[in-house]
Amino acid sequence: MKKRIFLLLAVCLITSLVLAGCGGQQQAAPKAEEKYPTKPVELIIPFGAGGSHDLHARAIAGAIPSYLGQPLMVVLKPGGSGGVGADFVAKSKPDGYTLLFGGNGPNTQLQFLMDLQYKKSDFIPIAKINSSPCVIIVRKDSKFKTLKDLAEYAKAHPGELKYSTSGSFGALHIPAALFLSKAGVKATHVPFNGGGPALTAVLGGHVDFGSQMTTQVLPFYQSGEIRVLGVTDAQRLPAFKDVPTLKEQGYDVEYSQWRAVMVPKGTPDPIVQHLRGAFKKLAEDASFKAMLSQMGERLDYTDGPEFDKIWEQEISSQAEVLKALAAEEKAKK
């Protein structure tokens, strides 16, 4: 009997030690004299498998080892619309071995929606890889031929129009909300679980218009299934030559979903510079560019300090709209 109790206690102790070890962060102090990096570097993706961040990360991991000096391991940490992964990196040891592949969702928009334990100042941007603008689409047999038609109908029939996006406060909701606020009209937002179901809703006629990513709708645009009314970029996209930008049509909206690499604040400067250098060389790598264009994406590299300014500006310019949206949604509850 005593032996059994002893064994049980031993097992409990060992289990709790193992769990504690798994859950905590690394305890080893960084040795500044060693040449960074001395072991593989982890890139944390705060989104799920198969998404655009995941795909870009795989392309990066394929091309960067020669510039970085070590392999890059892609680790998926999805959850909380990107909040879980971002939170994890913000709390990680700033030794340059844990990078975040962030996006507007967790790094710009989420803070207006909920109380986060991290903020922009918890990260040091290394490089922006690229960005994807959004498009406003309707079904091919819809009565709306331009954004103006949409806006005028919404003014004449308030509360009637419905639009679909990939989720509340997601990357597709914001540009649509920005367009509606610039046009001075209201429409009902119907959120779906991702871009795919949102697109299905438009195709099936369950909503009047939708907000989508360019890459996802390109084949539908080319086959004529949908009509693209506007793109939220600064100038027209080559793949959508005949589609005017929102700015051209009089709505001052410029929005892109960016993807950028960042490290936790407190990372020593030599490491930050090494990383920035590696990604700069990656941006000039021909094979990397080829991989991106095969995915239908383009490279749109911006270096760390430059991107920091853009990011800061994005937060302040979108703060109003995002706060209003958050208040509106909370009022509904």
Partner 1 sequence: MFMSDLAAGFAAALSPLNIFACFVGVLLGTVTGVLPGLGPAAAMALLLPLTMGLPPTASIIMLAGIYYGSMYGGSTTSILLNVPGETASVVTCFDGYQMARKGRAGAALAVVAIGSWVAGTISIVGVMLFAPPLAKTALAFGPPEYFAIALLGLLTLNNLTGDSFLKAMLMMVVGLMLSTVGLDFVSGYPRFTFGLVALSDGFDLVPVLMGLFGLAEIIEIINEKTNIGEILKVRFRDLYPTREELKRSVMPILRGTAIGFPIGLLPGPGHVISTLVSYRVEKGVSKRPEEFGHGAIEGVAGPESANNAASTTALIPLFALGIPFSAGPAILISAFMIHGISPSPVLISQHPELFWGVVASMYIGNVMLLALNLPLVGVFASLIKLPPYIIMPVVTAIMFIGAYSANNSIRDIIILLACGVIGFIIKKVKYSPVPLIIGLVLGPMFEESLAQGLLMTNGSFLGFFARPLSGTLLALSAVVLFWGLANKKIRRVIRRQAA
Minimum separation from the CB atom of position 309 to partner 1 (A):
28
Burial of 6 (0-12, 13-18, 19+ CB in 10 A): exposed
Closest distance of CB 216 from partner 1, Å: 9
C-alpha torsion angle, residues 142, 168, 190, 244 (rounded to 10): -10
> Given the complex with partner 1, which of 49 and 286 has the nearer CB atom?
49
Q: Where are the alpha helices (DSSP H) in 24-156?
A: 52-63, 65-68, 83-90, 104, 110-113, 147-156
Q: What is the binding site for partner 1 (CB under 8 A)?
A: 19, 22-23, 48-51, 54-55, 58, 61-62, 75-81, 83-84, 87, 113-117, 159-160, 162, 167-169, 188-193, 196-197, 199-201, 203-204, 206-207, 215, 218-220, 222-223, 225, 294-296, 326, 329-330, 332-333
What is the nearest approach in angstroms of partner 1 to the Cβ of residue 323?
13
Distance CA(104)–CA(175), nearest Å, equals 12
Which H or E run contains 210?
A: strand 209-213
The minimum distance between CB 120 and partner 1, in angstroms, equals 17
By C-beta, is 81 or 107 nearer to partner 1?
A: 81
Closer residue to partner 1 in complex, CB, 310/326: 326
For the record, the structure tokens of 294 come out as 């095969």
When the beta carbons of 9 and 19 are compared against partner 1, the nearer one is: 19
Q: Which of 54, 300 has the CB closer to partner 1?
A: 54
- Backbone φ, ψ for residue 123 (5° rounding): -125, 150
> Rounded to the nearest whole angstrom, what is the least distance from the CB of residue 20 to partner 1 in the complex?
10
Q: Provide, rounded to whole angstroms, the least separation between the CB of residue 19 and partner 1.
A: 8
Q: How far is the CB of 130 from partner 1 (least distance, A)?
A: 15
Please identify, using beta-carbon distances, which residue of 38 and 117 lies nearer to partner 1. Answer: 117
Q: Which is nearer to partner 1, 33 or 115 (CB)?
A: 115
- The tokens of 206 are what? 């369950």
Q: Report how far residue 308's alpha carbon sits from residue 314's, in angstroms, rounded to the nearest whole number.
A: 10
Run of H or E including 267: none
Q: What share of the chain is helix, strand, coil (3-state, %, to 5)?
A: 45, 20, 35
